[in-house]
Amino acid sequence: MLWSNDFLLSTAMTQPVMAHTIAIMSFTVQQSTGSKAAQYDELIAQARSLLSDETDRIANAANFSALVYHTLPDLNWSGFYFFDGVELVVGPFQGKPACVRIALGKGVCGTAAQTRLTQVVQDVHAFPGHIACDSASQSEVVVPLVAKDGSLAGVWDVDSPSVGRFDADDAKGMEALCQVFMELAWEPRASA
Ligand code: SME
């Protein structure tokens, strides 16, 4: 079986189709309720499991976004902006349709990309130049994604409809999560 993490994924049905066997997966995620440290520990283990058998970046970015969105409480957007060599371009995400292109240095995402520092914004209305893609967003955390060779891959952006949703523990947890993404979904790997 391709995916075998019992606590995260279960095989709902396996049926033979012509000469092939297709595994139809059902995906089970539960919203975390423990301490933030426990929530991120669990998420990191789940992300590692979810990404480890797949090498396609888009597939992994999409599933990573969905995992975080449906596991952490009080979010209204989670997703990627990838750097195309000139600016940030929206990648796989969960939530409402978002601004497509963000210049380096602009908004929270462009600031994280340019400074290469995680941005924790308690109140987006107090952040000069904040780009409002979804008017429901009140707070935000953005982690820069930097490859091993030092190049900018993009940013990981998570929004909440609550002011003050994210703190230093979230920054630390999101950075650890992003390390898993970069290791398993971005850096070249031997075939899975
Ligand atoms: N608020 C971000 C833009 C991206 S959306 O939140 C999805 C920013 O200021 O860069």
pLDDT of the residue at 28: 67
| Domains of the chain with bracketed CATH | 1-30 (no CATH), 32-186 (3.30.450.40)
Does the pLDDT of residue 65 top 70, yes or no? yes
Burial of 24 (0-12, 13-18, 19+ CB in 10 A): exposed
pLDDT of the residue at 23: 47
Dmax over CA atoms of the chain, in Å, equals 59
Residue among 78, 96, 102, 117 to mutate when testing ligand 1 (max atoms within 8 A of CB): 102
- Regarding the beta carbon of 170 and ligand 1, being less than 6 Å apart is answered no
For residue range 10-53, what is the model confidence (pLDDT) as tens digits?
333 334 334 344 444 555 677 877 889 999 999 999 999 999 99
Does pTM surpass 0.85? yes
For residue range 87-144, what is the model confidence (pLDDT) as tens digits?
999 999 999 999 999 999 999 999 999 999 999 999 999 999 999 999 999 999 999 9
Nearest alpha carbon, ligand 1 atom 2: 131
- Regarding the beta carbon of 44 and ligand 1, being less than 6 Å apart is answered no
Q: Which residues of 129-168 are buried (b: 16+ CB within 10 A; e: fewer)?
A: ebbebeeebbbbbbbbbbeeeeebbbbbbbbbeeeebbee
pLDDT of the residue at 29: 75
CA of 89 to the centre of ligand 1 (A): 11
pLDDT of the residue at 13: 37
Residue among 133, 138, 165 to mutate when testing ligand 1 (max atoms within 8 A of CB): 133
Residue 10's H or E segment, with its range, is: strand 9-17
Does the pLDDT of residue 5 top 50, yes or no? no
